[in-house]
Amino acid sequence: MRHHLILRVVTKLLIGPIILFALYVQFHGDFSPGGGFQAGVIMAVAFILYGIVFGLEAVQHVFPSWLVHKLMALGVLIFAGTGVASLFLGYDFLDYGAFSPHHPSHGQHWGILAVEFGVLVTVTGVMVAIYYAFAMRRPAISDEEW
Protein backbone atom coordinates (compact mmCIF):
# COMPACT_ATOMS: atom_id res chain seq x y z
CA MET A 1 0.00 0.00 0.00
CA ARG A 2 3.01 2.33 0.03
CA HIS A 3 2.36 3.45 -3.53
CA HIS A 4 -1.18 4.71 -2.85
CA LEU A 5 -0.13 8.21 -1.84
CA ILE A 6 -3.50 9.88 -2.45
CA LEU A 7 -5.35 7.25 -0.43
CA ARG A 8 -2.93 7.65 2.46
CA VAL A 9 -3.14 11.45 2.48
CA VAL A 10 -6.94 11.49 2.23
CA THR A 11 -7.17 8.93 5.03
CA LYS A 12 -5.00 11.09 7.29
CA LEU A 13 -7.22 14.06 6.49
CA LEU A 14 -10.41 12.12 7.27
CA ILE A 15 -9.42 10.57 10.62
CA GLY A 16 -9.80 13.82 12.59
CA PRO A 17 -13.21 14.78 11.19
CA ILE A 18 -14.50 11.21 11.69
CA ILE A 19 -13.53 11.31 15.37
CA LEU A 20 -14.97 14.82 15.71
CA PHE A 21 -18.24 13.66 14.15
CA ALA A 22 -18.33 10.71 16.58
CA LEU A 23 -18.02 13.15 19.47
CA TYR A 24 -20.77 15.32 17.95
CA VAL A 25 -23.08 12.30 17.72
CA GLN A 26 -22.15 11.36 21.30
CA PHE A 27 -22.89 14.72 22.87
CA HIS A 28 -26.02 15.44 20.84
CA GLY A 29 -27.48 11.95 21.22
CA ASP A 30 -30.00 13.00 23.83
CA PHE A 31 -31.33 15.82 21.62
CA SER A 32 -31.16 14.20 18.18
CA PRO A 33 -30.69 10.75 16.66
CA GLY A 34 -27.49 9.27 17.90
CA GLY A 35 -25.84 8.43 21.17
CA GLY A 36 -23.22 6.11 22.54
CA PHE A 37 -23.70 3.16 20.23
CA GLN A 38 -23.68 5.17 17.02
CA ALA A 39 -20.79 7.31 18.21
CA GLY A 40 -18.83 4.21 19.22
CA VAL A 41 -19.23 2.67 15.78
CA ILE A 42 -18.21 5.92 14.08
CA MET A 43 -15.18 6.24 16.38
CA ALA A 44 -14.18 2.65 15.61
CA VAL A 45 -14.49 3.37 11.88
CA ALA A 46 -11.68 5.91 12.19
CA PHE A 47 -9.31 3.26 13.56
CA ILE A 48 -10.52 0.56 11.18
CA LEU A 49 -10.02 2.87 8.18
CA TYR A 50 -6.52 3.67 9.42
CA GLY A 51 -5.81 -0.06 9.73
CA ILE A 52 -7.14 -0.87 6.28
CA VAL A 53 -5.02 1.80 4.61
CA PHE A 54 -1.82 1.68 6.67
CA GLY A 55 -1.86 -1.93 7.83
CA LEU A 56 -2.59 -3.82 11.01
CA GLU A 57 0.80 -3.14 12.59
CA ALA A 58 0.41 0.63 12.15
CA VAL A 59 -3.03 0.79 13.74
CA GLN A 60 -1.93 -1.46 16.60
CA HIS A 61 0.95 0.92 17.22
CA VAL A 62 -1.60 3.76 17.58
CA PHE A 63 -4.31 1.71 19.35
CA PRO A 64 -2.71 -1.42 20.90
CA SER A 65 -4.71 -4.58 21.51
CA TRP A 66 -4.20 -4.40 25.27
CA LEU A 67 -5.76 -0.92 25.30
CA VAL A 68 -8.72 -2.13 23.22
CA HIS A 69 -9.43 -4.87 25.75
CA LYS A 70 -9.08 -2.48 28.69
CA LEU A 71 -11.50 -0.02 27.04
CA MET A 72 -14.16 -2.71 26.60
CA ALA A 73 -14.06 -3.39 30.34
CA LEU A 74 -13.81 0.31 31.24
CA GLY A 75 -16.94 1.14 29.25
CA VAL A 76 -18.97 -1.51 31.03
CA LEU A 77 -17.56 -0.27 34.33
CA ILE A 78 -18.63 3.31 33.55
CA PHE A 79 -22.12 2.14 32.60
CA ALA A 80 -22.56 -0.05 35.67
CA GLY A 81 -20.76 2.44 37.91
CA THR A 82 -23.33 5.07 37.04
CA GLY A 83 -26.07 2.75 38.26
CA VAL A 84 -24.17 1.78 41.38
CA ALA A 85 -23.50 5.44 42.17
CA SER A 86 -27.23 6.15 42.05
CA LEU A 87 -27.78 3.18 44.42
CA PHE A 88 -25.25 4.59 46.89
CA LEU A 89 -27.03 7.94 46.74
CA GLY A 90 -30.24 6.25 47.89
CA TYR A 91 -32.04 6.01 44.56
CA ASP A 92 -32.92 3.13 42.25
CA PHE A 93 -30.33 1.60 39.92
CA LEU A 94 -29.74 4.03 37.02
CA ASP A 95 -32.14 6.61 38.48
CA TYR A 96 -30.36 9.67 37.19
CA GLY A 97 -32.29 12.01 39.47
CA ALA A 98 -29.76 11.02 42.13
CA PHE A 99 -27.07 13.14 40.50
CA SER A 100 -28.95 16.39 41.07
CA PRO A 101 -31.73 15.89 43.62
CA HIS A 102 -32.80 19.56 43.58
CA HIS A 103 -33.08 19.57 39.76
CA PRO A 104 -33.85 16.03 38.57
CA SER A 105 -33.78 17.13 34.92
CA HIS A 106 -30.12 18.16 35.37
CA GLY A 107 -29.41 14.78 36.94
CA GLN A 108 -31.12 13.09 34.01
CA HIS A 109 -28.85 14.95 31.62
CA TRP A 110 -25.63 14.07 33.49
CA GLY A 111 -26.67 10.46 34.03
CA ILE A 112 -27.52 9.94 30.37
CA LEU A 113 -24.21 11.48 29.31
CA ALA A 114 -22.29 9.18 31.68
CA VAL A 115 -24.10 6.03 30.53
CA GLU A 116 -23.80 6.97 26.86
CA PHE A 117 -20.08 7.64 27.33
CA GLY A 118 -19.71 4.16 28.78
CA VAL A 119 -21.51 2.75 25.75
CA LEU A 120 -19.24 4.76 23.41
CA VAL A 121 -16.10 3.37 25.06
CA THR A 122 -17.42 -0.21 25.05
CA VAL A 123 -18.65 -0.18 21.46
CA THR A 124 -15.44 1.41 20.18
CA GLY A 125 -13.39 -1.26 21.93
CA VAL A 126 -15.58 -4.14 20.75
CA MET A 127 -15.69 -3.01 17.12
CA VAL A 128 -11.92 -2.51 16.96
CA ALA A 129 -11.38 -5.88 18.69
CA ILE A 130 -13.58 -7.56 16.07
CA TYR A 131 -11.55 -5.88 13.32
CA TYR A 132 -8.28 -7.02 14.95
CA ALA A 133 -9.60 -10.59 15.26
CA PHE A 134 -10.48 -10.75 11.56
CA ALA A 135 -7.38 -8.89 10.37
CA MET A 136 -5.03 -11.20 12.32
CA ARG A 137 -6.47 -14.36 10.80
CA ARG A 138 -4.21 -16.26 8.47
CA PRO A 139 -5.77 -16.81 5.06
CA ALA A 140 -7.09 -20.32 4.44
CA ILE A 141 -5.66 -20.32 0.92
CA SER A 142 -2.79 -18.37 -0.57
CA ASP A 143 -3.13 -15.76 -3.28
CA GLU A 144 -1.63 -18.14 -5.84
CA GLU A 145 -4.40 -20.70 -5.26
CA TRP A 146 -7.14 -18.27 -6.33
Average pLDDT of the chain, as a whole number: 89
Output the pLDDT for position 28. Answer: 82
Output the pLDDT for position 33. Answer: 67
Indicate yes or no: pTM above 0.95.
no
Contacts of 39 (CB under 8 A, 6+ apart): 22, 23, 25, 26, 29, 116, 120, 123
**Does pLDDT of 1 surpass 60?**
no
Q: Which helix (H) or strand (E) holds 9?
A: helix 5-27
Q: Could you read off the pLDDT of 110-130 as tens digits, one per residue? A: 888 888 999 999 999 999 999
Q: Could you read off the pLDDT of 55-90 as tens digits, one per residue? A: 999 999 999 999 999 999 999 999 999 999 989 988
